[in-house]
Amino acid sequence: MTRIVFRNANLVDGENPARPGVTVIVDGERIDGVYDRAVPEPGPGDRVIDLAGRTLMPGLFSCHFHTTFHELAPGEAPALQILHSPATYTLLAARNLRTALECGVTGIVCSSAPYGIDAALKQGLGEGWITGPRMLGGSHELMATNDIAAGVSRNYWLGLGNQGLVRTADGADAFRSLVREEIRDGADVVKISASGGHNAGPTEDLVNLMPDELEAVVDAAHSRGRLVRAHAASRAAVLACAKTGVDLIDHADRMDEECIEVILEKDATVVPSLLYILRVLDFMGGDQIQAMVSPGVRPMFEKTLQSMREDSAYLTDFLPRVEEAGVRIVCGDDFGTTFLPHGEYAQELEFYVKHVGMAPIDVVRWATRNGAQAMGRGDDLGTVEVGKLADLLVVDGDPLTDIGCLQDRERLHGVILGGEFAVDRLSRSSEA
């Protein structure tokens, strides 16, 4: 198989500061060599590419990925995924996977999807019917009856029952059996709703599942080698989920020092996904939208907006402390919603640098090394190291000095997945 020799790279390896003038050799699907000097001569048939200082870095991971979300309006999430047929959602999802890969996302950990679509997508990727990132597929969103997230948009008189994205249950046995069904249907990551907040109604300091229900979910998933993730915005929910062994804590808006302690002890991952909230507030806080809200729902609307404002301000302030404490934070957000279309993944990285004040190198680690670890593949993916799989990006720019450069598809000169080019804008002139 042809080797690829990348010469003169600005290496951003997913862990360390940038190193200029590096040569990286890819042999088959893996990284075979990383050289600062004493570069071996290329062999006959090697594809030699002079990067002329462009950045070579690991592919991005998006760890809260809804494959089937498409122009989803805020507040509709739990009831949604009943607007189109499963067949239509599958087509949209296949398109979204392709978009992600073309944007440099080479790994996704899915949040929730209906109809076993994620399992079908994985099959399609494995068979080569479609193209997209490596993925862990999601489950339905499992909720207790009278979950606030269901109450916001899944009004009981509609009689929706267990349709679309949501499945509800009550009691440990019922939750255990739902988890087993989701795994039977192909889920790698089981999603539960553990609290309101983060645009699922206001955040009250509550946990939506009883302790035995939470334990049943975690035990049933872990005993079959699957992960659990939870929508957990309230402090009580973050703490309960972390203590019980939930692997990915989504949003974590109200986490505090005690939460940090338990998260570190349990080695859980936090997915803040704050960009979505900022986008919602930008739009929903506008006068025009306010005027359109009918008087009947105005109190709940106002309360939710207020909660989002306070929670996002709180987490924006607290997030640097979470990073400093050594918690594994990852990127990933509700792309596919009205305000955050698929394709804008890299805007999230810039948001954490410019709005939250994180160092670019930290955010790059969230999106590469940490993402691979959250996926359970830290040994094989997420950094540019000899022996790892060659999931790589060639970027015209340096994300450690200009994080925004990742957003421009024209500056993404190469996307390599397992040693094969998915995007190849490297002109022949850069080849020796």
Q: Which residues bind Zn ion (CB under 5 A)?
A: 111, 334
Helix boundaries (H) for 247-337: 257-266, 275-284, 287-292, 298-324
From the CB of 361, what's the least distance to Zn ion, in Å?
27
- Residue 149 vs 405, nearer CB to Zn ion: 149
From the CB of 229, what's the least distance to Zn ion, in Å?
9
On whether the CB atoms of residues 26 and 416 are closer than 8 A, the answer is yes
The C-alpha atoms of residue 359 and residue 339 are separated, in whole angstroms, by: 25
Query: To the nearest 10°, the Cα dihedral for 177, 183, 187, 193?
Result: 20
- Residue 250 vs 323, nearer CB to Zn ion: 250
Q: For the chain, what is the radius of gyration of the CA atoms? A: 22
Q: Dmax of the chain from CA atoms? A: 74
- Residue 147 vs 398, nearer CB to Zn ion: 147
- Residue 111 vs 373, nearer CB to Zn ion: 111
From the CB of 59, what's the least distance to Zn ion, in Å?
22
Among residues 59, 58, 49, which one has the least CA distance to residue 8?
49
CB atoms within 10 A of CB 5: 25
Among residues 166, 163, 169, 138, which one has the least CA distance to residue 150?
166
Half-sphere exposure of 390 (CA within 13 A, CB side): 26
Among residues 125, 32, 117, which one has the least CA distance to residue 66?
117
- Residue 111 vs 430, nearer CB to Zn ion: 111
- Residue 54 vs 251, nearer CB to Zn ion: 251
Residue 232, beta-bridge partner list: 251
- Residue 109 vs 393, nearer CB to Zn ion: 109
From the CB of 273, what's the least distance to Zn ion, in Å?
7
From the CB of 308, what's the least distance to Zn ion, in Å?
15
The C-alpha atoms of residue 68 and residue 165 are separated, in whole angstroms, by: 10
- Residue 176 vs 342, nearer CB to Zn ion: 342
Can you tell me whether residue 355 is helix, strand or coil? coil
From the CB of 332, what's the least distance to Zn ion, in Å?
9
From the CB of 429, what's the least distance to Zn ion, in Å?
43
From the CB of 250, what's the least distance to Zn ion, in Å?
7
On whether the CB atoms of residues 215 and 228 are closer than 8 A, the answer is no
- Residue 111 vs 370, nearer CB to Zn ion: 111
- Residue 340 vs 389, nearer CB to Zn ion: 340
Distances (CA, A) of 408 to 267, 343, 395: 34, 10, 9
From the CB of 286, what's the least distance to Zn ion, in Å?
23
Can you tell me whether residue 127 is helix, strand or coil? helix
The C-alpha atoms of residue 77 and residue 172 are separated, in whole angstroms, by: 25
From the CB of 335, what's the least distance to Zn ion, in Å?
9
Q: Is 397 left (phi over 0), alpha (psi -120 to 50) or beta?
A: left
| Distant-in-sequence, close-in-space partners of 215: CB < 8 Å, separation ≥ 6 | 172, 244
